[in-house]
Structure 1
Amino acid sequence: MRTNTLKRRALGSSALVTVALLASQPAFAQQAPADEKADEEPAIVVTGTLLKNPNLVLSSPVNVVGEQEIATRQINNAEQLLRDLPGVVPGIGSAVNNGNGGASFLNLRGLGSQRNLALVNGDRLVPSGSGGAFDLNNVPLALVSRVDILTGGASTTYGADAVSGVVNFVTKSNFTGFDARVSYGLTQRGDGAAFRTDVTMGGDFAEGRGNAVISLGYQKTNPVYQGDRDFSLFQINSFNGRAAGGSPTDTPTSFYFTETQPNALQNNATGTGFVTANADGFNFAPYNIYQTPFERYNVFAQAKYEVADNIEAYGRGIFSKNTVQTIIAPSGIFGEALNVNINNPFISAAQRATICGANPTLDCTAGSTATVAIPAVYRRTVEVGPRISRFTTTMFDYKVGLRGKITDSLNFDISGAYGQSNQVQTLSGYVLRSRVQQALLADNTTTCRTTSGGCVPLNLFGGNGSITSAMVGFIQGTSTIAVDTGLSQVRGVINGDLGIASPGASTPINFAVGAEYRNYTFNRTPDNLSQVPGELGGAGGAVLPFRGGYKVTEGFVETNIPLIEDKPLFNKLALEAGLRQSRYEVNAPGKPTFNATTWKVGATWEPVSDIKVRGGYNRAVRAPNIGELFAPLVTGLTSLAVDPCSGTKAQGNANLSAICIGQGATAAMIAAGSIQDPAAGQANATGGGNPLLRPEVADTFTIGTVLTPSFLPGFSLTVDYFNVKVNGAISSPTPADVINACFGSVTAASATSVACTSIRRNPVNGRLSGPSGTVAGLPTPSSNLGRIDTSGWDLSAAYSRDVGFAKLMLNLNGTYTIDNYFKATPSAVNRECVGQYSVNCGSIQPKWQHNLRTTLDFGNINVSLLWRYMTAVRYEQRLFEVRKAFSGAITGSGPLVGQTFDFNRIGAANYFDLSAGFKIMDRFNLDFLMANAFDRKPPIVGSTLGTTGQNSGNTYPSSYDALGRRFQVTLGVKF
């Protein structure tokens, strides 16, 4: 019964028609579903409008993922479900390791997680972090009845941030009964175990005047290490095809004793002298992971009670405690300048001779205790173990409200909500630079010159294993960073109809009017270790404390005007419009304020009942979030594999040499050809917030058609065109933008131009990487100078029919993205990233992507096949002018050596997921899933073509399945 009700509502409102015909179909017939009273539920959530009448035909296209599809996919969190949907570009989620901040986010249309909203029952919930986005790890999936994905501007309805649309998780209402399920999954290789259990209970009370429901859940997912897959056992350089280390920070220790030294010198195996450093460096790949370990406890409860005739009090609460861990290779000393006394007990005679030869002014006479400055020291402290960041987030959000009728045709809804998200990041396995420096100044093997903290002298001059457990105990440290966010909300809405209709229609004019207030707060509190640049070896830049917030007061109005009904060629014709006026007050000195206006117009036309044509234009506005406004200026890391000054490029080129020298290199470095590309493909970059930022403005346009032909029962088709333009986009230049602004034409570039001199190099070796306290690297300031332009087509088709022995159901969702241009500044490249990948493009966005599900329902048994498809993509063409990616046979070490690959292209991807469901004894459900049934391996492109977060383990694990064939089984019971 529930499915049919949902179908009627979906067809009544074309905002939900796209795939509701099949997305919400049950996998098998249910004689007595636990939530059978849903047919009577008065609370109806229609995504994309605040209007009350659910039968209105709306102009906004909405894709619907039904309850059965969620269950069939057997996913463990909302991000995993959304990641594979057409129109969604993978954001930060469970497949992102280095770059994961302990939360999962949505990225609609590839416009960024800050330009869409994730809602629960149409409500904003407290965001995670300074970016203002809701953490999808907190969605109570067990109680979700459907997911609506509105892919068009929705700022008029939901306020700022809904530039590319919203995802609305709609929970079950009037739930009565008991529903429990337990799920367990494992990859074919025996790793990545995932366990989930949920219990949902609900029922009526007070003779049916009230209903309450509570859902409890627990989930745990184990990591999958890159070292456990043959294609990622060794990191592969994307430009020379060598499977080797990837990082110059290796073990034993290597040193640069002069700024012009072309190659590092490394301790030999016995620590008695130096040899030329290992060119392959340290293989960090086996330590990294494809699937982040995750554990969550969650509670969702909601209740309502009719306090008087036509007056209902309601409330809901969400609590979630989740823990995400990221694991990367061991910490170390990453090119730090350090001092050591020449009589250090761990320096051999041969090593002392080399050091003295490189420092002719140093007192090296017998008995000298002089201190020598070593310009750059590299040592991977494998003895300490991997670097682990543990993010523990405790989140709650509650809402109470009163709703009811003013008259027979007018309704009101007044509510207030408050939420907090408290995250503690604990960093362990990190080497402390200050303690390394303290432990290097020692005249004997037992006592440091400065004994504070229980100092143990450190041996950086021996072979592998020279760092003892006692030394580890002194040089390692644990750091914590606390992040607290809050959101207070008050909203009041009056909606209904005016009791009048246009002359050509019988349906009254509907409207909604109201006001809303929101107050966002943010506070980041790092400990002292996190605030010192370079103190935590390999942690990137300093993490500085900052707080900020803003308040927004808004008024809004929406209307839907049926113009013509039941006339030839005008079965229905309606107009809709909306307006929202917002005033922002920033919590900063002087309390700057700014205003924003967003509006929409749209129309729907049904020439006959089988055809609907819809279109809309939105002026959407996104205000800068707290991070964009207040984040302090710091030096961190960005992705850059090639330095225009590295090697011999500048030799014989006077202008290029002058540019490199103007950035901090020296003529001696250029003459020696000693400048190297950024270590591990990561350059330093300096950026932060900008309190002068103002709202960005987007124009979104959609037009499409909905076909439900009466001559083909069970079939529906929707086709929609979308176009989004964001002007004054809040953005920062990409690494290529910064490099091209200076080096785009080395014959015309000026060594004294701001574009060149603002790039700052390592004064020790001329590299763009090094200690964050002394190497600023690339400037990446935030501004309102960006522009984004994307367009494309969405297609959804559904068909169901009885074929005699079973019911056949087909469901297709696809998106064809024509383009997605991004221009960070007026002088930057107007970059196109659709169908291309590079350090400038983040996640992969294919031209065409679709999901096709085919289901045979035999009653108590069903079998379903999901086909996930992505078109081929290629390495960013603009970068070909500088350097092509590798193509040929892999060299170096590991299982892939000798195999031929072309990193300039990734072919089309096809994944097939096979599932089956069984109904047992009326009350029990048993579901099986075999994901990636043909065990398709991910494409190999090396690990230095794209961003660190997305291009990891020699592939793009958020876009392509790196885990392999996976099995999942779920047992459910309902009463």
Structure 2
Amino acid sequence: MKTFSKRALLRASAAPAILGASLIATAAFAQDAPQAAEAEAGDTIIVTGSLIKNPNLAQSNPVLTTTADQIELKQNNTAEDILREIPGIVPSIGSAVNNGNGGASFVNLRGLGSNRNLVLLDGDRMVPAELNGRFDLNNVPVALVERVDVLTGGASTTYGADAISGVVNFVTKSDFSGLEANFSNQITDEGDGNYVRADVTMGANFDDGRGNVVFAIGYQQSDPVYQGGRDFSVDNIDSYSGAIGGSGTATPSRFSLGALGTRQVTADGTAFRPTSAFDAFNFNPYNIFQTPFERFNMFGSAKYEISDAVEVYSRGIFSKNTVNTIIAPSGSFGLSVQVPVSNPYLTAAQRTAFCANNDFNAGLAGIQSLTVAQCSAAAAATSTSDPNYRQFTTTFSRRATELGPRVSEFTTTFFDYKLGARGGITDSISWDVSGAYGESENIQTQTGYWLNSRVRQALLATSTDACLTDTNGCVPLNAFGADGSITDSMNSYLTANSQIATKTSLAQVKGLISGDFGLTAPWAGDAVGFAIGGEYRKYQASQESDLLSQSGDLGGAGGAAPNIAGGYDVYEAYGELVVPLVQDKPFFQDLTVQGGARYSKYSIDAAGSPGYETWTWNVGGSWTPVDAIKIRGNYARAVRAPNIAELFAPNNTGLTNLSIDPCAGSAPLTNANLAAVCTAQGGGDYLGLIENDPAGQINATSGGNLSVGPEKSNSWKIGAVFQPDFIPGFSATVDYYNIKVTGAITTPTPGDAISACFDNLSAASASDPACTIIRRNPASGNLFGESTTTGGLFLGLSNLGTLKTDGVDLTLNYDRDIGFAKLSLSLNGNWTGSSKFQASPSSLNRECTGFYSVNCASIQPEWQFSQRSTLAFKDFDVSLLWRYIDGVSYEPAAYDDDLAAAVGAGCTDPEGADPDGCMIDPEFRKIPAEHYFDLTGRFHITDNLTLTLTMQNALNNKPKVVGSTIGSTSYNSGNVYPSTYDALGRRYAASVKFRF
């Protein structure tokens, strides 16, 4: 058995984690001896995946690692940028998401959801950014990152809940001494999207090496890249017709006119024109591909050995981030309003149309219109006391182009600090006790929004001077004129800023004893390793909205933002064992087994909630028959407890995506069962007039549920590591993973909600709860409109879901001195066999690998790899990164739904040329495989000065256009998928690093 000094044990216990396949991007196989040497030398050993600290004990879990050198060559500015290049990580909310970005960036490991993986900093949890319990990647101090470890599969036994799909661990530089300063600048080939980053890191050892302090400060700032600045996204393209399209909330205004349906004001603002002449609103030029971002951050850590047996340590991190999302102007989005016939801005032709087609007596059946004489008398009645006074109800849609874009500024202030002590009980057993506390506050300030209540008030006017109800300086609104008819004074009255504050906190205390007792198996040399510990965590989170945000009064804000508050406590106890069974025997160079278990008790801050208890466990092992091969495997039972949003958020109506409404168009007029269903949902008065939203957005109602409990997962992995002696410098790993989540806390997809009602139309469907729970706009029959009156689809939260994914990770590395230079070749690849989601036992078991649609939101290709080739000369390095993304196509299940709706609507030849635009344009049903190349040159000018030049997307590849209504708004934007495919084009990056 190899022994360690107390100082080595102190250093080796820097953070809870596991020894995986590798500590660097090269081979993970023969690393036991080098790590032991490093530990004896006093270097910090941080491993990812286990609590056992003995660095001699190789583990069974594969870990994919990205090093600081790779980060420098790629010139990544944020943690999100780093993770985006790793195969097997599916794009989540980040800088390329504009409409749907809450000011933070997240990671989605294996496509199982960004709330099912855990992000760590040096093995520690950090305070989450929002009510879903996710950590904001913008808070990672990139300048100090030594490497990034990605561990796949259930890790709840080691780290607690949330680690169902795995762990991403950012490991920072330890024992840093000296001064390092970095400055970098990036700009696109188009001259926009400038990105500036500056970092300074200082560190020093003191008291003869007994202590070390590190402090770093950083600044980042990026400019927006507008969709109007790229030729493929200047115009909004409809994914069905292939024609230039956009939003139905356009300019001039649109109004409902009874049996005539919806009509739009003519371009000159004098009359109305029919549906065929509508001008859709092109919102693309206002939206952005790169959100503006500014960040100030600080990071500090210190440690000091009080004695040979005790070391104290601390860590503090602070950042302030500002993210701006910019979307097209606000307005009135299908708002039900009342308008006097004597409104001063109505032209004679418009007044006549309203009088002849609108209902002036809802108490009687049919449309009770006005005669010509009644209309003329009402036009002269300017007082509500006049017996001839009349007003009509209409659905009003108008884009506030005169006002400018809607802007949401998200300012996040984050801090998290930790204090602990560790030491050695014996030469082979150490202890570690620490406490940490963190807070995050995100303030969202919304500007540029019309208020629905003021729009209604401003339309109730019979003169241009004042509104009929004028207690707040009301300015009458000219909604009936041409584009430009709305003045600054009108907009000033109609708008007001609003604010939403999201606050979270995390307090945690934990203690751990790990090491070995010196016991060994009869045929092994290394001792049995163990770890035992306990942990307490307390989560608190709230969303506090002003009255405007709570009311849902903001035009185009996607619904109300209710107040939410909640929290829970977690008490845990856990233990792990690593048992070397056979070592240094023929065909058994090493045979090691390991296992662990964790007990967790949750106490929910809600009256009547009993809380819950969970057990997680894992078993695994590795077998090294000869020096060149290692076989490894692991099986884990993991859980994920519901987060605060899933528990405490009230039901609320917002937006989701759906392009085809089965009740739209003429289909209900020829199908009695369909008509009955549409009528039961509140659309009976509008059969034949119901519309599909041109922007592909509809309303949906969802919320939390205190009845949901923890979801469970079973995951297993098996793989091998190869490091043959006959190929010096070569190593390879291949690992198969399989993860299944049952009792998953999920909501149905839009396609699931539609299918549950409309797939089996029958006479009973009109009373089927799956149908009647869908609620339509009472003023139009549409699934879109004002959130206070139109519930849309109901996407309820439950424990009925099932998620499953499996695949293979492959890494290849080769390093060789070729005389005039050193050659390094590396490849990280992933094959995803399946990625399935079933919202309930009766729902479709939906496959999303290689597919995209509103149901498969973020693209997960079947094959993906990153390959880097580097030649290192004495004073110069040249490196080429080749990134491959496999081809993907439109989801077959979504295609079948479209086809059924098209046939029901009587579309001609829907699977052929489809002149009706009932099916996704064939041109948009596939995205071919993509290859990106990044070229880097790094110049070591002096021992203290390095210059790095990078050309990203060197071939200036453009993303495949698929239109803007084929998928989820968060990921399908600007006619493309900018989170997966590079929408910015070729970029140039330059950085200078000083080190002393």
Instruction: Mark yes or no: TM-score above 0.5.
Output: yes
Q: How does 1:815-964 map to 2 (within 5 A)?
A: 815-883=830-898, 902-964=923-985
SS at 2:533 equivalent: strand
- Structure 1 position 652, deviation (Å): 1.7
SS at 1:398 equivalent: strand
The 1-side partners of 2:523 and 2:40 are apart by 33
Change (3 A) 1:791 1:18: farther
The 2-side partners of 1:891 and 1:435 are apart by 42
The 2-side partners of 1:56 and 1:863 are apart by 37
SS at 1:553 equivalent: strand
Give the aligned partner of residue 422 of structure 2: 403
Q: How does 1:808-819 map to 2 (within 5 A)?
A: 808-819=823-834
Aligned partner (choices 17, 21, 25) of residue 22 of structure 2 = 17
SS at 1:384 equivalent: coil
Aligned partner (choices 265, 269, 272) of residue 270 of structure 2 = 272
Kept after mapping to 2: 8 A contact 1:242/1:890? no
The 1-side partners of 2:529 and 2:222 are apart by 47
The 2-side partners of 1:748 and 1:737 are apart by 21
Which AA in structure 2 matches 1:491? K
Change (3 A) 1:790 1:293: same
- Structure 1 position 56, deviation (Å): 1.2
Give the aligned partner of residue 319 of structure 1: 318
SS at 1:286 equivalent: helix
Give the aligned partner of residue 896 of structure 1: none
Give the aligned partner of residue 250 of structure 1: 250
Kept after mapping to 2: 8 A contact 1:41/1:174? no
The 2-side partners of 1:171 and 1:711 are apart by 35
Give the aligned partner of residue 44 of structure 1: 45
The 2-side partners of 1:935 and 1:595 are apart by 53
Q: How does 1:598-617 map to 2 (within 5 A)?
A: 598-617=616-635
Give the aligned partner of residue 286 of structure 1: 285
The 1-side partners of 2:922 and 2:214 are apart by 55
Q: How does 1:457-476 map to 2 (within 5 A)?
A: 457-476=476-495
The 2-side partners of 1:361 and 1:796 are apart by 74
Moved more, 464-473 or 443-452: 443-452
Give the aligned partner of residue 202 of structure 1: 203
2:777 is the alignment partner of 1:776: no
Give the aligned partner of residue 460 of structure 2: 441
The 1-side partners of 2:778 and 2:624 are apart by 69
Q: How does 1:145-160 map to 2 (within 5 A)?
A: 145-160=146-161
2:270 is the alignment partner of 1:296: no
- Structure 1 position 887, deviation (Å): 9.6
SS at 1:813 equivalent: strand
TM-score w.r.t. structure 2 length?
Answer: 0.92
The 1-side partners of 2:272 and 2:544 are apart by 43
SS at 1:340 equivalent: strand
Change (3 A) 1:613 1:136: same
Change (3 A) 1:376 1:901: same
Change (3 A) 1:781 1:395: same
- Structure 1 position 882, deviation (Å): 2.8
Give the aligned partner of residue 593 of structure 2: 575
Percent same amino acid at aligned positions? 53
Q: How does 1:632-651 map to 2 (within 5 A)?
A: 632-651=650-669
The 1-side partners of 2:56 and 2:878 are apart by 34
Give the aligned partner of residue 367 of structure 1: 380
Change (3 A) 1:754 1:888: closer
Q: Deviations over 1:168-191 (max 9, x none)?
A: 000011100000010000000011
Give the aligned partner of residue 669 of structure 1: 686
Q: How does 1:105-144 map to 2 (within 5 A)?
A: 105-144=106-145
Which AA in structure 1 matches 2:205? D
Q: Deviations over 1:572-616 (max 9, x none)?
A: 001100000000000111342100100000001100121111000
Give the aligned partner of residue 897 of structure 1: none
Which AA in structure 2 matches 1:585? S
- Structure 1 position 13, deviation (Å): 8.2
Q: Deviations over 1:21-49 (max 9, x none)?
A: 289xxxxxxxxxxxxx9995443111001
Q: Deviations over 1:160-207 (max 9, x none)?
A: 010111000000111000000100000000111100000000001233
The 2-side partners of 1:113 and 1:515 are apart by 26
The 2-side partners of 1:38 and 1:854 are apart by 31
Q: Deviations over 1:106-163 (max 9, x none)?
A: 1000000111001000000000111101000000000110000111211111000101
Kept after mapping to 1: 8 A contact 2:23/2:47? no
The 2-side partners of 1:162 and 1:280 are apart by 49
The 1-side partners of 2:664 and 2:294 are apart by 44
How much is the aligned-residue C-alpha RMSD, in angstroms? 2.0
Q: Deviations over 1:83-108 (max 9, x none)?
A: 12101000000111111111100100
Which AA in structure 1 matches 2:771? C
Kept after mapping to 2: 8 A contact 1:18/1:797? no
SS at 1:937 equivalent: coil
- Structure 1 position 346, deviation (Å): 1.3
Q: How does 1:661-740 map to 2 (within 5 A)?
A: 661-666=679-684, 669-670=686-687, 673-740=688-755
Kept after mapping to 2: 8 A contact 1:181/1:197? yes
Change (3 A) 1:464 1:888: farther
TM-score w.r.t. structure 1 length?
Answer: 0.94
Give the aligned partner of residue 31 of structure 2: none
Q: Deviations over 1:512-532 (max 9, x none)?
A: 000000000001100000111
5+ unaligned residues in a row in structure 2: which ranges? Answer: 1-10, 29-37, 359-367, 383-388, 903-909
Moved more, 99-108 or 740-749: 740-749
Which AA in structure 1 matches 2:250? D
Change (3 A) 1:545 1:759: same
Kept after mapping to 1: 8 A contact 2:437/2:507? yes
SS at 2:826 equivalent: strand
Give the aligned partner of residue 539 of structure 1: 557
Give the aligned partner of residue 895 of structure 1: none
SS at 2:754 equivalent: helix
- Structure 1 position 446, deviation (Å): 2.0
- Structure 1 position 901, deviation (Å): 6.8
2:333 is the alignment partner of 1:334: yes
- Structure 1 position 847, deviation (Å): 0.5
- Structure 1 position 451, deviation (Å): 2.5
Change (3 A) 1:18 1:181: closer
Which AA in structure 2 matches 1:17? S
Which AA in structure 2 matches 1:339? Q
Q: Deviations over 1:43-91 (max 9, x none)?
A: 3111001111122110111001011001111111101110121010000
Give the aligned partner of residue 187 of structure 2: 186
The 1-side partners of 2:725 and 2:309 are apart by 39
Report the number of matched residues: 939
- Structure 1 position 447, deviation (Å): 2.0
5+ unaligned residues in a row in structure 1: which ranges? Answer: 1-5, 24-36, 893-899
The 2-side partners of 1:911 and 1:112 are apart by 26
Kept after mapping to 2: 8 A contact 1:255/1:374? no
- Structure 1 position 257, deviation (Å): 2.6
Kept after mapping to 1: 8 A contact 2:87/2:830? yes
Q: How does 1:732-811 map to 2 (within 5 A)?
A: 732-747=747-762, 750-811=765-826
2:473 is the alignment partner of 1:450: no
Which AA in structure 1 matches 2:490? M
SS at 1:339 equivalent: strand
- Structure 1 position 890, deviation (Å): 13
Which AA in structure 2 matches 1:47? T
SS at 2:647 equivalent: helix
The 1-side partners of 2:495 and 2:879 are apart by 52
